[in-house]
Amino acid sequence: MNLFTKDSKILITGAAGFIGAHLSKNLLDMGYGVTGIDNLNDYYDVRLKHARLEQLKPFEKFKFQKIDLADQTAIKNLFAEGEFEFVVNLAAQAGVRHSITNPDAYINSNIIGFFNILEACRNHPVKHLVYASSSSVYGNNKKVPYSTEDRVDHPLSLYAATKKSNELMAHAYSKLYQIPSTGLRFFTVYGPMGRPDMAYFKFTDAMVKGEKIQIYNYGELKRDFTYIDDIVAGVINVMAKPPMESEDGAPYKIYNIGNSKPESLLYFVEILEKCLMAQGIITEPAQKELLPMQPGDAIQTYADIEELVRDFGFKPNTSLEKGLTEFAKWYRDFYYRRDINVI
């Protein structure tokens, strides 16, 4: 059942983030109104967050407030005034390795912040709550591809544990208060205006500086790289179709969104180098330093998306070459040609 109309009131948390900004712009381009919130923290280059918001400001139907999810009073007031029908919770403290050295940020944003969103949806009922989970919940599961039916009881990082906690919390609220909720396990999202803490972005920065790039597990890592446009299309498809009650009576669902085609990190770097050279950003392949496995990393990610295809007729399909070409073009214009120092 599609309850999504051009008059629907939509809240997107993390609207200055990578996925949040792309999703907001896509919805605004389609004629929907969007209220976005973000705390604009300095986990990575704040200039990039402001640049994303600059793309959204020209839209008359876009409203933005600087709010932290952990600020319960601000969230209560936001929902009381907004009367939101659809909520997409993308705000979170991201990064697997960062969670090892800065655990407090993950508890505040991913646990307390998500609790505040759930409470707000309970007190101001919504037609659909969609929230970001992560492929990291699968840990180092031996069975591939990863299915939402698989057990996910062995997280490799606090970040992964917080995302699994979100799924459990959402299920409880869905069951208790009949809040239609859908969790989306994203698989290694990349593309223009992406996060500078992601490997492909760090590789690019290092190559521009003429530095070696560090590749962990001696290159024996595989990732289900998923282009940002495919992620956004998946989210919009899901938003429009709240879940029906499951066997236990909760209107609750989880989907994987991934390319369903894991690629080795070394191959990914090879395509990235090719795309960067084509845009004149680098002139030769990078020197590579092969290092041991890092704490918190999974050896492979691989999405089973049969349910996504079955329920929405949608399948991510952007090739690495196309996606990395778009990233290289953006990087050239945003960092390289503007003479902005890379991070």
d(CA 33, CA 27): 7
Q: Choose, from 43, 131, 146, 159, the residue flagged as catalytic.
A: 159
- In which residue are the tokens 């990082």 written? 157
- In which residue are the tokens 């919130």 written? 37
Q: Which residues pair with 182 in a beta bridge?
A: 130, 253
d(CA 166, CA 109): 11
d(CA 87, CA 25): 16
d(CA 20, CA 12): 7
Active site residue 159: yes
Residue 130, phi then psi, degrees to nearest 5: -110, 135
Going by C-beta distance under 8 Å and a sequence separation of 6 or more, which residues neighbour residue 114? 69, 89, 92, 131, 165, 166, 169, 170
Strands of the chain (E only): list them. Answer: 9-13, 33-38, 62-66, 86-89, 128-134, 181-186, 189-190, 213-215, 222-223, 226-227, 252-257, 263-264, 288-290
Other C-beta atoms closer than 10 Å to the C-beta of 127 total 17
CA angle 283, 287, 292 (to 5 degrees): 150
Torsion of CA 131, 10, 36, 72, to 10 degrees: -70
Active site residues: 159
